[in-house]
Amino acid sequence: MTNPVNRTILLLDIERFSDRDDVEQAYLRRMLYDIADRTLQSAGIDETLRLRADRGDSVMELIDANAPVTALLRALLAEVPAQLRSVNRMASRSAQIRLRGVLASGWVAVDEREGWVGSDLNHACRLLDAPLLRAALRERPDDFALCVSDALYSGVVRHDHAGIPADAFHAVTLGSKNGPLSAWLHGPVPHTGGEDRSERGDEVPAPGADSGEHPAPGPKTPPAPAAKPSATPSAGPVFHFHGGSPVIGGSLVGGDQHGVSGGYVGGDVHLGRSGDVHGDRPEGDRA
């Protein structure tokens, strides 16, 4: 393995790539490579200053640390949206291409199998896959959502270089399998619910398992069981008819009422429990 060297890391990923058929995927890959090449060329970064790795639906570029990052950022903010508009206006609906992008910096080593290793590279890949960045792209009219790492924001973006407005970037905390990650999102922060949060506490939904972009349908909620009849007697009056005179359980108010503290209502109507059906009350309680 080579010694780690400092690189600028650029990642670009196609939205909903796995939802397309083979012909559409092949077309989208060609468009992705064309857009990446034109963007880097417009920033003055030729092929001698970069290494490329293919991830199927995305491309990874390791760029020499001496290449101008400000020129690359300006190209990402202006050139990529312009190229996407040009491509998509001539493409069918099924061939529309929309991109998520991450720009970061850090130490990366290349092993004997030409593989890339480094915690800074892992960090950038997790930013690219974060649900918040996916949600941000769904709300973008220009088909592109860009996120930059904390280190790149501190070293470049916050200084408000020409063509790189610092106030257009917003601090966000992105969820990942290794815990929350701090980053800076270009453009508005999405305001839908989920696991990621912005500095204002806004949440966005985690994507579903179908294509990585749309929430998967959740389990159906079973209907609530019917409430069982309560065994507790009603607080109001209860009438019982047993082939004879009615007995009222509870209290019944109908005009004047007497005997709240023990008085007697004559006839065959008794106040008290439904089980106290014995005709007249005990002798000692008669008025």
**Tens digits of per-residue pLDDT, 209-247?**
334 444 333 444 455 555 555 444 444 555 454 555 554
Nearest CA to 183 out of 248, 128, 108 is that of 128
pLDDT of amino acid 192: 58
Please state which of the ranges 65-69, 81-85, 136-140, 243-247 shows the lowest mean pLDDT: 243-247
Q: What gap in Å lies between CA 146 and CA 63, rounded to an integer?
A: 17
Q: Which two tokens stand for residue 274?
A: 């439904």
198/246 same-domain check: no
pLDDT, tens digit (0-9, with 9 covering 90-100), for 9-42: 999 999 999 888 999 999 999 999 999 999 999 9
Residue with token string 């912005």: 198
Within this chain, do residues 148 and 42 fall inside the same structural domain, yes or no? yes
**Whose CA is closest to 9, among 84, 76, 78?**
76
Residues 198, 271, single domain; the answer is: no
Looking at the structure, tell me whether residues 50 and 96 fall in a common domain: yes
Tell me: do 109 and 243 sit in the same domain: no
Which of helix, strand or coil describes residue 153? helix
**pLDDT digit string, tens, across residues 265-286:** 445 444 444 444 444 444 444 4
User: Among residues 183, 204, 225, which one ends one of the domains?
Assistant: 204
CATH of the domain at 160: 3.30.70.1230
* Residues 124 and 266 grouped into a single domain: no
Task: Please report whether residue 66 resides in a domain.
Answer: yes
- Whether 34 maps to a domain, the answer reads yes
Longest dimension (CA), the chain: 115
- Write the DSSP assignment of 232-262 as a string of letters: SPPSS-EEE-SSSS-EEEB----SS---TTS
Total number of domains in the chain? 2
Q: Report the share of the chain in percent with pLDDT over 70.
A: 67
Q: Let me know whether 184 and 275 are in one domain.
A: no
Q: What is the mean pLDDT of the chain?
A: 77
Residue-number span of the structural domain to which 32 is assigned: 5-204
Beta bridge partner(s), residue 36: none
Q: Is 211 inside any structural domain?
A: no
Comparison of pLDDT for 261 and 1, the residue scoring more: 1
